Structure 1
Amino acid sequence: MMNLIIWNCRGALKPSLKSHVQDLFIDDDPTILIIMETHIGGDRAKEIFDTLPFQGAIHTDTVGYAGGLWFLWNPDRVEVTNLASTEQEIHALVKVRSSNLSWIFTAIYGSPRHRERCMLWENLYVVANIHNLSWIIAGDFNELMSNDDKFGGRPVNLSRALSFKECMDACNMADLEFQGPRFTWSNGHSVSSLIQEMLERFFANPDWCMLYPEAQVSHLTRCFSKHCPVLLDLHPQSNFRLEKPFKFQSF
């Protein structure tokens, strides 16, 4: 079994972060955990992720108190080499110790600002053109691909959605299918003003899909944050996943 989880925690200084990461660790045993929108960087970030159940860590700088991206892993299971990073992305080479397979994992926290997201798309174009390895891209892109990715609020900006889709197409990426609720973020309001969006995704190129043809994405129960954790199980035991006990979420 090998699991990867991406999660926008909306601030890693919250006292209960450690217990929620511990719950993810116990329930789903992730080999790699990507934590997004941590709001902290530098030595303060290291102080916090040193208390979490992962011995390997890469983190990006925040822009003031905005952003923040952590790439955490278990060195007993994978060897991770940091290839490059910016405030919005971490590119790492992952070598799986049990199988000796290697692939690139790009972790994303897309800027809320459109202009900076355009810089991210350009960076991904560059990465796509300098390697031919198995590759996955995952994270909170802060962008939608179609009107189906949103409930409530303003309509999706189709021009921006097209730019996002064109970038993934140029990188030869497929959007991995998922189980669970469609939307990964909610504003938590009542139905009259409820807005929900699918912001977190896993993408993979054909070479990566050939390595893990049964890989399955699941949207997990939302807790602690308005974003739900998203799990990628590389070796699911079956297509059936036991549902966890229902928990009422309040925001």
Structure 2
Amino acid sequence: MIQTCHISIDWAREITDRLPFDGAIHIDIIGYASGLWPPWNSNRVEITPLTSTEQEIHVMVKVRNSNLDWLFTAVYASPRSVERHILWNNLNKVAELHNMPWVLAGDFNEPLQAEDKFEGMAVSVNRSLLFKESLDKCSMIEIGFSGPRFTWTNRREVQALIQERIDRIFVNPSWCLLYPKARVVHLTRCHLDHCPVMLQAWGQSYALQEAIKHFKRDANNRNKVQFGNIFARKKSIMARLNGIQRTMSIRPSNFLLNLENSLLKELDMVLNQEEEEELWALKSRVNWMI
């Protein structure tokens, strides 16, 4: 699921067309202010859109080559508390209409507790209680996470720095039974103010685990052969950024902020070099075919 601000649906389609997905839903949240776009691969899942509003998209997910199906709700909650209250009520109504396995994920724009925020205005107890009451009515639970604690930052100097955990993934108990080994990972944040949040879900299939292992091995070998040191440099930079962001969740400092910015500039250079190498490799293959 992709969420972003200040771009149009046409630009959203152009972006998702470049990604390795062959299906996507594009919805404007508030005109050009923000958008919500769940993409997917149709060879892995069959997606049936059900309904949507300015703050949510509900789809049915059917996993191919299995008889597993479940409800997925993508959320991009309004920054205005009155409109978020409408969202909570909508989710409560959806919960009354089904008893399926259910995943609820996105930017909720509301910390659940004081520990979910660093600096800035205190977390509103009343608003957090409304959020929690809605989650309880939907039978939603969290399955923990790994990675940096906070998922959003205002990217300011330490004196004005604010960090929050507002991007979350919730599941109901029925979904947990389908994917008992599922886990949530807060990935490394690069140039955006939000970090990517990934839900890893797999069943007990040994064949699937083996396929993933072989894919990773082949991808690593291909990267080493084609791009050599670029892949290693990018991996090293991302690991250092992740370590900085984990520490920033506990002990932020201007030194770490400056180091993060420096590494982001270095990452840009590596990514540009990687793009040039990919273009060169493509041209080489085309010339060989001719």
TM-score tier after normalising by the smaller chain length: 0.7 to 0.9
1:92 Cα deviation from its structure 2 partner: 0.5
Identify the range of structure 1 (155-164 vs 39-48) with the bigger mean alpha-carbon deviation. Answer: 39-48
Counterpart pick for 2:35 among 57, 68, 85 = 68
1:182 Cα deviation from its structure 2 partner: 0.9
The aligned residue for residue 159 of structure 2 is: 192
Q: Is the 8 A contact 1:185 1:197 kept in 2?
A: yes
Residues 33-112 of structure 1: pairs in structure 2 closer than 5 A: 34-112=1-79
1:229 and 2:223 matched: no
Q: Is the 8 A contact 1:67 1:87 kept in 2?
A: no
* RMSD value, Cα: 1.9
Distance 1:119 1:249 in 2: 38
Distance 2:4 2:79 in 1: 11
**DSSP-derived class of the 2:50 partner:** strand
* Higher fraction of strand: 1
Distance 1:42 1:199 in 2: 24
1:41 Cα deviation from its structure 2 partner: 4.1
Distance 1:168 1:246 in 2: 35
**DSSP-derived class of the 1:95 partner:** strand
Structure 1 residues 85, 146: CA separation in 2 closer, same or farther (over 3 Å shift)?
A: same
The aligned residue for residue 14 of structure 1 is: none
Identify the range of structure 1 (63-72 vs 205-214) with the bigger mean alpha-carbon deviation. Answer: 63-72
Q: Which amino acid aligns with 2:51?
A: A
TM-score, normalisation: structure 2:
0.70
Q: Is the 8 A contact 2:8 2:31 kept in 1?
A: no
**DSSP-derived class of the 2:19 partner:** coil
**DSSP-derived class of the 1:80 partner:** strand
Q: Which amino acid aligns with 2:260?
A: Q
Q: Is the 8 A contact 2:58 2:73 kept in 1?
A: yes
Counterpart pick for 1:201 among 168, 186, 193 = 168
Q: Is the 8 A contact 1:39 1:62 kept in 2?
A: no
1:122 and 2:106 matched: no
The aligned residue for residue 9 of structure 1 is: none
The aligned residue for residue 246 of structure 1 is: 240
Larger Rg: 2
The aligned residue for residue 127 of structure 2 is: 160
| Deviations 1:95-149, CA, capped at 9 Å, x for gaps | 1113321000100000111111111111101110001100010000001111010
1:61 Cα deviation from its structure 2 partner: 2.1
**DSSP-derived class of the 2:240 partner:** coil
1:193 Cα deviation from its structure 2 partner: 1.9
Q: Which amino acid aligns with 1:249?
A: E
**DSSP-derived class of the 1:92 partner:** strand
Q: Is the 8 A contact 1:108 1:141 kept in 2?
A: yes
Percent identity, please. 54
Distance 1:226 1:115 in 2: 24
1:87 Cα deviation from its structure 2 partner: 1.3
Distance 1:177 1:84 in 2: 29
Distance 2:162 2:65 in 1: 42
After the TM superposition, which parts of structure 1 deviate over 6 Å for at least 4 consecutive aligned residues? none
**DSSP-derived class of the 1:37 partner:** strand
1:65 Cα deviation from its structure 2 partner: 2.0
Unaligned runs of 5+ in 2: 204-208, 210-234, 242-258, 265-290
Q: Is the 8 A contact 1:106 1:136 kept in 2?
A: yes
Count of matched residue positions in the alignment of Structure 1 and Structure 2: 214
Q: Which amino acid aligns with 1:69?
A: L
Distance 1:39 1:99 in 2: 39
Unaligned runs of 5+ in 1: 1-33
Distance 2:76 2:12 in 1: 16
| Deviations 1:182-208, CA, capped at 9 Å, x for gaps | 111111223222211001111001100
Distance 2:22 2:96 in 1: 32
Distance 1:75 1:227 in 2: 27
Q: Is the 8 A contact 2:9 2:35 kept in 1?
A: no
